[in-house]
Copies of this chain bind each other. A is one copy, B any other.
Amino acid sequence: MQRVREIAARVSNWGRWGTDDERGTLNFITPEVVRRAAGCVKRGAVFTLGIPLGADGPQIGQGGRVNPIHLMSAVDGRLGADAEAPRYADDFVTMPLQCATQWDSLAHVFYGGKLYNGYPASTVTTAGASRNSIDKIGRGVISRGVLLDLARAKGVERLGPGEVIIPSDLDHAARAARVEIASGDVLLLRTGHLGVFKQDGNRQGYMTAEPGLGIDCVEWLHAREVAAVAADTMAVEVLPGEDPKVPLPVHMLCIRDMGLTLGEMFDLDELAADCAADGVYEFLFTAPPLKVTGAVGSPLNPLAVK
């Protein structure tokens, strides 16, 4: 944790947007940034980045996370008494809020007894998170999105499980995309890991070892004032981690110290194919979470519009 604390000292955004802030680096998304993001819509092409929410999802029960349970409460319910009456169907879902394509809230991870912006860990109870919960970013994540197609940039189908992404990989992918990262951008990192799962259906393989950001990328993200980062893996960062004694250092630094919202299990394959085809890697990115009161994460269906 020594290294984590050193980097934390350099990248911390605590207090940067006020002592009451609960949105962290999403504050980089100014109205001006939103306006420019809308300007990225040239063709009117829409891409959905959410994976299906169903029993076929990738969850294997780790930490109690299971796939969504969808149950019908009515399938042929009568509206009115007679046999000819109109009918309706209705349904329920039970699911972990982080079982599929998701945002981690800034209350999702912490250390040293403090959440992002210094709120005490005791603000998270069985009643939910009273600080930094996902509904605090209900106004959403809408900004310019930039795809960094790390797999394509390296000419591989997928970065290897356990392969560490380093800053020069990010630079290389950004150059390949011919995009200059700007303050308020949301970065979408494609490693190819989800694409492999979609083909082989190997949940164990998808969930237990994955390519992802190494700890050195944290300062790179900080310097560029990135608003949020999402990837096609379940942790954004590399698993197993670089230092076996320090679990999830990128989560800790991004979420707890920088206040940077992480997105996981984003399906970037169709978008990436389109970007490779037209050479345009920037787009309007719109990804509001569900406003579950006090929740520490949210499933969502992000859209990219080119």
- A162 at the A/B interface (Cβ < 8 Å)? no
Q: Are A55 and B64 in contact (CB under 8 A)?
A: yes
Residue of B nearest to A247 (CB): B79
Q: Does A261 contact B (CB under 8 A)?
A: no
Given known A34-B46, A42-B35, A87-B121, contact A295–B77 (CB-CB < 8 A): no
- In the complex, the answer to whether B303 meets A142 with C-beta atoms within 8 Å is yes
Asked if A290 contacts B291 (CB within 8 A), the reply is: no
Tell whether, in the assembled complex, residue A90 and residue B44 are in contact, meaning their CB atoms are under 8 Å apart.
Answer: no
Interface assignment of A63: CB less than 8 Å from any CB of chain B? yes
Count class of interface residues, chain A: 35 or more
Which of A125-133, A153-161, A174-182, A222-230 sits within the interface?
Answer: A125-133
- Nearest B residue to A113 via CB reads B87
In the complex, chain B residues whose CB is within 8 Å of the CB of A217:
none
A257 CB, nearest partner CB in chain B, Å: 11
Binds B, one of A94-102, A194-202, A205-213: A94-102
Bitwise interface map of A from 31 to 52 toward B, beta carbon under 8 Å scored 1, else 0: 1111100110111111110111
**A301 interface residue per 8 A CB criterion:** yes
CB contacts under 8 Å to B, within A90-113, are 90-98, 107-112
Chain B residues within 8 Å of A295, by CB: 70, 91, 93
- Minimum Cβ distance to chain B for residue A214 (Å): 17
Say yes or no: A75-B126 contact (C-beta < 8 A), given A48-B140, A50-B291, A247-B85.
yes
Please, which residues of chain B bring their CB within 8 A of the CB of A90?
63-65, 96-98, 108, 296-297
Q: Contact: A303 with B286, CB < 8 Å?
A: yes
Q: Does A66 make an interface contact (CB < 8 A)?
A: yes
Asked if A248 contacts B79 (CB within 8 A), the reply is: yes
A263 within 8 A of B: no
Do B301 and A76 touch across chains, with their CB atoms under 8 A apart? Answer: no
A73 touches B64 (CB 8 A): yes
A124 interface contact, C-beta 8 A: yes
> If A38-B41, A48-B139, A291-B52 touch, does A73 touch B71 (CB 8 Å cutoff)?
yes
Residues of chain B within 8 A (CB-CB) of A76 are 121, 124-126
Given contact pairs A90-B108, A90-B296, a sample of 19 additional A-B residue pairs in the complex whose CB atoms are under 8 Å apart: A30-B44, A34-B46, A38-B39, A46-B139, A48-B291, A52-B291, A54-B293, A63-B74, A66-B69, A80-B247, A85-B247, A89-B108, A90-B297, A91-B292, A92-B97, A93-B95, A142-B303, A288-B300, A290-B290
- Top 9 nearest A-B pairs (CB, nearest first) are A31-B44, A54-B293, A34-B44, A38-B41, A79-B247, A35-B44, A71-B71, A86-B111, A288-B301
16 A-B pairs in the complex with CB atoms less than 8 angstroms apart:
A33-B44, A34-B41, A35-B41, A50-B291, A52-B135, A55-B64, A69-B94, A72-B124, A76-B121, A76-B125, A84-B112, A92-B96, A93-B95, A93-B97, A140-B303, A288-B303
